[in-house]
Amino acid sequence: MNFNSENISNYFRHKALTDIRFWIVLFFILRLYGITNAPLEVAHNWRQADGDMVARNFYEIDNNILYPRLDMAGEKTGITGTEFPILNYLMYLVSLVFGFHDWFGRLIVLIISSFGTLYFYKILKLKFDERLSFYSAFLLLTSMWLMYSRKVMPDTFSVSLVVISLYFAFRYFKNTKWLDLFTYFIFVTIGVLSKIPAAYLLVVLLFPLLDSSIKIKQKCWIALITGVMFLPVCWWYFYWVPYLVNHFGYWHYYMGTSFVNGFHEIRSNLGQTAHKFIFEALKFIGFTAFMFGLIVASIKKEKAILMILFVCSISFSILMLKAGFNFPHHSYYVIPFVPIMCLIAAYGLTQIKKQWIQTLLLWAIATENIADQQHDFRIKESEKYKLSMEPIADLVTDKNALFVINGGSGPQQIYFLHRKGWTVDTDMLTDSTYINYLREHDCKYLFINKRNGVPSKRIEGVGRIVYNDINFVIYKFE
C-alpha cells in the first residue's frame, strides 16, 4: 500500500474509526494528560498513596517483595499484610533506572489496562460478531475504567491481567498449544495475586469445560493449572498476610467479612449499592442500554449473552457479600463487573435497527462518561500546597525522626510528608494521654496541617514551635 495523503485519508475514513486498536491508542494518549500528577485528585487519593508508599519503601528501605511496608505504623517497622504488591514492585523496578516517581504506577496501570481492553475485544471476537465486540470494548474504554485505569490501584490492573489470561485459555482450547497454556498460567497467577476479586471472571471457563466437543485432556490441564494458580494466592492471603500482621503488629489490609454479615450490610445500604451499578459503572445512559440489552436478550432468549451474565452475576455476588459494607461505600469495588455490563449494553445497542441511532447512543454514553470523569485528570489548586510538606519537614529534621500529623485516618498526607509515624484526627491531639503515648514511643515532632483544623485547646506536654506558616505548624517534643 502506498502511504500517500489520499490513502491515509481513506484509511481513517473507512477503517481506523472501526478499528478498536485506533481507539485504544487514542484513549491511551488522552489519558496521558496529567499522568505525572501526584495522588492529589479527589477520588481515592488515599488508595493511591498506599500503593505509592509501598513502592517507595521497596526503593528506599528493603526490596523484598514479601515484606511490603507502610509509613503510618508509628514506631513499628510498618511491615504488614497487603494485596500482593506486584504493581508496587514494578514501580520499584522502573525506579531503579529512573529514580522514584509515584506517577510510574499510573503509567504501568494505563499500559496494562489498555492491553486488557484489547484482549477483552479479542475474547468477544471468538464468540460474537465484530460490531458487538467493538461496541463492548469501546464502552469499556469510556466507562469508569477511563479514570481508574490511570490510578495507582490494582483494580483495572488485575482484571486486565485475568482478561488477557482468559484469551490464552480459550486459545489453548482451540489450538492445544503448550505456550498458550503457560501464558494463561502466568497472567492469571499475576492477576489474581494482585487482587483476588479479579478471579471471579474465571467462572467463564465453565463454558469450554462443559463443552463436549473439547477434549477431556485439555479440560484437565486447564483445571489443573487453575488449581495450581490458587496455591500461591491462598498462601499469600490466608497464611502470609495474617503472619505479617501478627508478627509485625500492624493491621491495614481489609480481608472482608462473613457472608451473613455482608448480606446484612449490603441490605442496609441497598441505595448506595444500586448507585454503584446505575451511575458509577456506565452512568445513566449506559445503564439504560444495559437494561435494554438485558430485556431484549431475555425476550429473544439469547442463550450465550444470558448465560455469561448469569454465571458472572452469581460469581460477583459472592464477592459483594464478602466485601459487605465496603462495597457500597467504595466505587472501585464494582470495577471487575464493568466489562460484563459493557457487553450487555453493547448487545442492546446492536439490537437497534438503524445504524445511525446505534452510533449516536454509543457516543452519548461515551460523552456522559467522559464528562463526568474529566475532573479527575486535573488537580485542584487548593490541594497543591501539600506538595510542600516534605520540603518543610526537611528544614526541621532528617527523614529518620518520627512524626505525628493530623492527616486523619488516610495515608495521603503522611505520604507527602515522607516521614514515618502516626496520622490521626485533629481532636486526638488534645488528649494528654495520647500525647504521652506518642512521647513514650519516640515521636519527635507534631506536624499540624491548619487546613485540617487546629486543636480546640492547648496541646499539653508539647514543646516549642520550630516552624510556622499559613498552612502548617510544627512542634518539637521536648
Q: What is the pLDDT of residue 103?
A: 96
- For the entire predicted model, the pTM comes to 0.94
Question: Which own/partner pairs from 380-389 qualify as long-range (CB within 8 Å, at least 24 positions apart)?
Answer: 380/40, 380/42, 383/40, 384/40, 385/451, 385/471, 386/40, 386/412, 386/413, 386/416, 387/38, 387/40, 387/416, 388/471, 389/413, 389/416, 389/417, 389/418, 389/447, 389/449, 389/472
Beta partners for 448? 473
d(CA 185, CA 221): 11
d(CA 324, CA 307): 26
Task: Find the range with the poorest average confidence among 120-129, 151-160, 367-376, 456-465.
Answer: 456-465
The string of pLDDT tens digits covering residues 51-84 is 999 999 999 999 999 999 999 999 999 999 999 9
**Which of 341, 334, 375, 383 minimizes the C-alpha distance to 46?**
383
The string of pLDDT tens digits covering residues 75-93 is 999 999 999 999 999 999 9
d(CA 388, CA 195): 33
Q: Which residues contact 112 (CB under 8 A, 6 or more apart)?
A: 156, 157, 160, 161
The string of pLDDT tens digits covering residues 159-191 is 999 999 999 999 999 999 999 999 999 999 999
Q: What is the pLDDT of residue 10?
A: 57
**Which of 296, 366, 302 minimizes the C-alpha distance to 128?**
302
* Average pLDDT, integer, range 366-392: 95
Q: What is the pLDDT of residue 125?
A: 96
Q: Is 71 exposed, middle or buried (0-12, 13-18, 19+ CB in 10 A)?
A: buried
d(CA 202, CA 333): 17
**Which of 293, 46, 34, 47 minimizes the C-alpha distance to 146?**
34
**Confidence at 2, pLDDT banded by 50, 70, 90:** low
- Beta strand pairing status for 402-405 and 443-449? parallel
Q: What is the pLDDT of residue 320?
A: 95
Q: Is the pLDDT of residue 360 over 90?
A: yes
Most confident region among 1-10, 300-309, 458-467 by mean pLDDT: 300-309
Q: Is the pLDDT of residue 451 over 60?
A: yes
Cα→Cα distances 57→51, 148, 230, 446, Å: 10, 23, 28, 22
Q: Average pLDDT over the chain, rounded to whole?
A: 93
In the chain, pLDDT over 70 holds for what percent of residues? 96
